[in-house]
C-alpha cells in the first residue's frame, strides 16, 4: 500500500497543473530577468497606460505601454526590453493615478490578485497631482529609482504620521468589507524645495475612496487625525499654543485609541472615542515655569485641542461622505462583538447619525535630558 502511494505521488503531477508545457514554461534564467520594482497605472479614455521602473542598480529601465486591458499591457511590455523576461514578482510599489482611482481601483486590485506574478503585499499609492507615469519616471539622474524613493517615503511618513502605506491586499480587503478605504497619497515635490535640483515624491496624506471611487483627499494634517483613529499614530510633532501667548512643540511618542460604544435596546446609542497620547516636550518658544502643574496641564490641553480638531474633522468628512474609510466598524465591533452583531440597524445606516464623542487624554513628559530648571540665560524670562 505504501509503495503504491509512493508511485501515486509522481502521478499527482498530472493532476496538480504542474505537468506539461505550462509548468516548464516557468523555467527562467535569472540573468534574463528584468525586475520590476514600481508600476504605475493611468487611464486615458479607453486605454490603460502601464509604466514600469526597475531598480537603479540594474541600470534602470523605464517602459510605458498603453493597452485596452492591464493584462495586455503587461504582455506587450515584454517586447520592449532587450532581456528575455520582465518579471513582475518583485513589484514592490503600485502607483495609481487619479484617473484610475476615479473608477478602476477595484479592477486594478482584482488584476493584482489574479495575476500569477504580482503580489498582494505590493504597497499601494495614489498620485495626487498628476498621472502615475510622471511619478514612475521620476528620477532624472538615474542614481535612485522611484522604488527606492518610495521605500524611503514609507519610513518617512511614519515619522510624522501624515500617512500610512497600505498593501494591495489590505486595501482590497477593506474595499470588499466596507466599500471605502484610505490610500496613501503622494505628490511630486515642488522643484524649489529640493536643494540639489532633483525631483522627489512627498507624502500628501490620503486619497479617500468611497463606494469604490475616489471621493476626495485628506491633507497630511487631517491624515494624522485619521491615523489617531486607526491607532497608527506613533510618532509626530505637534505644535500648539502654550496658553501664555507662545507656541511649543511636543513629540508624540505613542498613542492608543479606545472605542466605547453605548448600546440600549439593541441599538447603538453613542460612541465615545478615547484617545491617549504620550508626548514629550521638545521645544518652547519662550521659557515656561514647567515645575508648576498648571503650566503642564495647559500644555497638555493645547495638544488635546489640536488633535481633537483633527479627529473631529476626519469624522465629519467621513460622515458627510457616508464612508467609514477609517474602518471604525471593525474597531467598534472589536470592543463589543456580541452586542454589535445583534444591532437592529446596521453600522452603515447608523454611522452617519451616530453621536460620537471624542475624549483625548494627553500625558506630557519632559524629555529625559531636559531639566525642569530653565537653562542659563532664560531664567529671568521664566520668573
Judged by the rule CB under 8 A, the positions of this chain that interact with other proteins are 2, 6, 9-10, 13, 16, 18, 23, 26-31, 33, 35, 37, 55, 57-58, 87, 89-90, 92, 117, 119
Q: How far apart are CA 314 and CA 219, in angstroms?
A: 10
Least separation in angstroms between residue 18's CB and other proteins is: 5
Which set of grid coordinates corresponds to residue 99?
Answer: 484617473
Q: How far apart are CA 85 and CA 147, in angstroms?
A: 19
Radius of gyration (Cα) for the chain, nearest Å? 26
Closest CA to 188 of 95, 256, 274: 95
Q: How far apart are CA 383 and CA 373, in angstroms?
A: 11
Least separation in angstroms between residue 24's CB and other proteins is: 9
Residue closer to other proteins by CB (options 11, 195) is: 11
Q: How far apart are CA 300 and CA 360, in angstroms?
A: 10
Least separation in angstroms between residue 90's CB and other proteins is: 5
Least separation in angstroms between residue 105's CB and other proteins is: 24
Least separation in angstroms between residue 123's CB and other proteins is: 12
Kindly list the distances between the CA atom of residue 327 and the CA atoms of 30, 178, 180, 235, 323, in Å, as whole numbers in the listed order.
42, 8, 8, 21, 9
Closest CA to 345 of 263, 271, 258: 263
Residue closer to other proteins by CB (options 23, 316) is: 23
Q: How far apart are CA 349 and CA 339, in angstroms?
A: 16
Least separation in angstroms between residue 91's CB and other proteins is: 10
Residue closer to other proteins by CB (options 32, 177) is: 32
| Sequential DSSP letters for 77-110 | HGGG-SSSEEE-TT--EEEE-HHHHHH-HHHHHH
Residue closer to other proteins by CB (options 55, 226) is: 55
Residue closer to other proteins by CB (options 87, 263) is: 87
Residue closer to other proteins by CB (options 55, 96) is: 55
Amino acid at each position: 500500500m505504501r509503495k503504491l502511494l509512493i508511485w501515486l505521488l509522481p502521478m499527482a503531477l498530472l493532476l496538480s497543473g504542474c505537468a506539461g508545457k505550462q509548468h516548464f514554461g516557468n523555467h527562467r534564467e535569472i540573468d534574463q530577468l528584468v525586475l520590476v520594482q514600481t508600476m504605475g497605472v493611468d487611464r486615458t479614455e479607453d486605454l490603460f497606460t502601464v509604466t514600469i521602473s526597475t531598480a537603479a542598480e540594474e541600470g534602470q529601465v523605464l517602459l510605458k505601454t498603453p493597452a485596452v486591458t492591464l493584462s495586455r499591457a503587461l504582455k506587450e511590455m515584454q517586447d520592449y526590453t532587450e532581456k528575455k523576461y520582465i518579471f513582475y514578482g518583485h513589484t514592490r510599489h503600485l502607483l495609481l493615478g487619479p484617473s484610475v482611482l476615479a473608477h478602476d481601483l477595484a479592477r486594478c486590485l482584482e488584476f493584482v490578485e489574479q495575476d500569477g506574478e504580482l503580489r498582494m503585499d505590493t504597497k499601494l499609492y495614489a498620485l495626487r497631482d498628476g498621472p502615475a507615469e510622471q511619478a514612475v519616471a521620476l528620477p532624472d539622474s538615474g542614481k535612485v529609482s522611484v522604488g527606492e524613493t518610495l521605500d524611503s517615503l514609507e519610513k518617512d511618513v511614519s515619522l510624522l504620521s501624515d500617512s500610512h502605506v497600505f498593501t494591495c491586499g489590505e486595501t482590497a480587503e477593506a474595499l470588499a468589507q466596507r466599500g471605502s478605504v484610505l490610500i496613501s497619497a503622494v505628490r511630486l515635490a515642488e522643484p524649489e524645495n529640493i536643494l540639489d535640483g532633483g525631483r522627489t515624491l512627498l507624502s500628501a496624506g490620503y486619497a479617500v475612496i468611497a463606494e469604490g471611487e475616489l471621493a476626495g483627499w485628506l491633507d497630511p494634517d487631517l491624515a494624522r487625525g485619521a491615523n489617531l483613529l486607526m491607532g497608527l499614530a506613533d510618532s509626530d510633532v505637534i505644535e500648539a499654543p502654550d496658553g501664555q501667548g507662545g507656541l511649543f512643540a511636543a513629540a508624540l511618542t505613542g498613542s492608543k485609541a479606545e472605542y466605547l460604544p453605548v448600546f440600549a435596546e439593541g441599538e447603538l446609542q453613542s460612541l465615545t472615542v478615547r484617545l491617549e497620547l504620550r508626548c514629550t516636550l521638545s521645544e518652547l518658544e519662550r521659557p515656561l515655569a514647567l515645575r508648576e502643574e498648571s503650566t503642564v496641564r495647559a500644555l497638555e490641553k493645547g495638544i488635546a485641542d489640536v488633535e481633537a480638531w483633527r479627529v473631529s474633522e476626519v469624522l465629519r468628512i467621513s460622515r458627510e461622505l457616508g464612508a467609514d474609510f477609517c474602518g471604525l466598524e471593525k474597531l467598534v465591533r472589536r470592543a463589543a462583538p456580541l452586542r454589535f452583531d445583534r444591532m437592529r440597524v446596521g453600522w452603515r445606516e447608523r454611522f452617519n447619525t451616530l453621536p460620537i464623542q471624542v475624549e483625548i487624554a494627553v500625558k506630557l513628559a519632559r524629555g529625559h535630558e531636559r531639566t525642569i530648571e530653565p537653562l542659563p540665560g532664560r531664567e529671568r524670562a521664566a520668573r
